[in-house]
């Protein structure tokens, strides 16, 4: 599994670099767009640094207390062993099986069926479960769901998805600023300040507008692709912890049939075991989660074993391709 974590990190790094280039390009574009003399390059450089500073500040805030913000948005409350001994025992067993420190346990008072994990560090992680899921699943199914959430912690998904979400948010904010600047007369001001620029100014304006429109779309595609793949990996890791793919399949079927509204916040939605408020029928580029029926089909077909290699083979059969990272650490 260590090889899988390394592969996760490498792929995440590629996505972050791609999103980072979009972010820097947007910053440079807004700087050049607002600069009376774009040929000097000063505006582009200033815009680039401002974009990086905005992202850095948001990242520091998320690292320092992002998990608490997420929990407050979801209206989650902490529970202890004396309040729910069975749930505590389940998480404790999974902590031992995974080798992870015991996370804090939170419950969300909603009849919706969902769960998520948060925390930038495995030593300070949190798993949260809704009251609806807690009351409507049996012990084996709850264990399977919580194993999935702890798999996100084990695979370092929470950290990567949090930073990716922040970068996506920064790109969207800067794009909005750029488009609003154009609407509010930024282009007319530049035209009056740079008489005679002619075709060059028109080209700059067109490029900047296209970048402001396309950058958030591309960033979302990168982000959602990263999120979807991690759900499959978390399912596979969960099964390696519990050796029980059928209970996870049963749990996902019950969760997919639940239509109760649940809005834990946009950042938290990508971390939930199933996309809140939406019953998915098909995969698309704007989806944070893969189709739940495909996840169930993979789990139900794992009669040959519960190891990661078996999951990969079944995944390739159901999905039609094998683009999951390979576990190169063989004994």
* pLDDT of the residue at 279: 47
Question: How remote is the C-alpha of 301 from its chain's centroid?
Answer: 27
* pLDDT of the residue at 43: 76
SS (H, E, C) the chain: CHHHHHHHHHHHHHHHHHHHHHHHHHHHHHHHHHCCCHHHCHHHHHHHHHHHHHHHHHHHHHHHHHHHHHHHHCCEEEECCCCCHHHHHHHHHHHHHHCCCCCEEEEECCCCCCEEEECCCHHHCEEEEEHHHHHHCCHHHHHHHHHHHHHHHHCCHHHHHHHHHHHHHHHHHHHHHHHHHHHHHHHHHHHHHCCCCCHHHHHHHHHHHHHHHHHHHHHHHHHHHHHHHHHHHHHHHHHHHHCCHHHHHHHHHHHHCCCCCCCCCHHHHCCECCCCCCCCCCCCCCCCCCCHHHHHHHHHCCCCCCCHHHHHHHHHHHHCCCCCCCCCCCC
| pLDDT > 90 fraction of the chain, expressed in percent and rounded | 29
* Residue 303 to residue 307: CA distance in whole angstroms: 11
* pLDDT of the residue at 30: 75
- For the chain, residues with pLDDT lower than 70 are 1-9, 11-12, 16, 36-40, 62, 65-66, 182-201, 204, 225-226, 265-267, 277-288, 323-331
CATH number of 70-158+226-319: 3.30.2010.10
Which entry of 3, 86, 93, 149 is annotated as an active-site residue? 149
Per the listing, tokens 């946009």 go with 266
* pLDDT of the residue at 120: 76
- Whether the full predicted model's pTM is greater than 0.85, yes or no, is no
Q: Is 3 a catalytic residue?
A: no
* pLDDT of the residue at 291: 85
Domain ranges of the chain: 70-158+226-319
* pLDDT of the residue at 188: 52
């Amino acid at each position: 599994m260590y090889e899988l974590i390394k592969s996760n990190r490498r792929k995440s790094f590629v996505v972050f670099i791609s999103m980072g280039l979009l972010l820097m390009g947007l910053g440079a574009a807004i700087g050049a767009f607002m600069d009376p003399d774009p040929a000097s390059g000063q505006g582009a450089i200033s815009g680039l640094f401002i974009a990086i500073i905005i992202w850095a500040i948001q990242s520091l805030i998320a690292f320092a207390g992002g998990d608490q913000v997420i929990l407050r948005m979801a209206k989650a409350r902490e529970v202890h062993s004396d309040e729910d001994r069975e749930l505590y025992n389940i998480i404790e067993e999974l902590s031992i099986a995974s080798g992870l420190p015991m996370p804090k346990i939170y419950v969300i008072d909603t009849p919706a069926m969902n769960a998520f994990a948060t925390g930038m560090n495995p030593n300070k992680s949190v798993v949260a479960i809704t009251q609806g899921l807690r009351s409507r699943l049996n012990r084996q199914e709850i264990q399977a769901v919580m194993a999935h959430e702890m798999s996100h912690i084990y695979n370092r998904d929470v950290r990567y998805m949090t930073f990716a979400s922040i970068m996506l948010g920064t790109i969207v904010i800067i794009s909005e600023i750029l488009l609003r600047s154009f609407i509010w007369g930024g282009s007319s001001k530049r035209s009056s300040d740079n008489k005679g620029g002619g075709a060059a100014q028109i080209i700059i304006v067109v490029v900047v507008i296209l970048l402001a429109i396309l950058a958030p779309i591309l960033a979302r595609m990168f982000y959602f692709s990263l999120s979807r793949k991690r759900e499959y990996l978390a399912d596979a890791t969960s099964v390696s912890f519990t050796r029980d793919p059928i209970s996870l399949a049963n749990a996902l079927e019950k969760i997919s049939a639940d239509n109760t509204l649940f809005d834990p916040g946009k950042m938290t939605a990508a971390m939930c075991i199933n996309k809140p408020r939406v019953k998915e029928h098909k995969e698309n580029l704007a989806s944070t989660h893969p189709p739940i029926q495909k996840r169930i089909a993979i789990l139900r077909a794992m009669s040959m074993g519960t190891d990661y290699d078996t999951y990969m083979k079944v995944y390739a059969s159901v999905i039609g391709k094998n683009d999951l990272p390979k576990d190169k650490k063989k004994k």
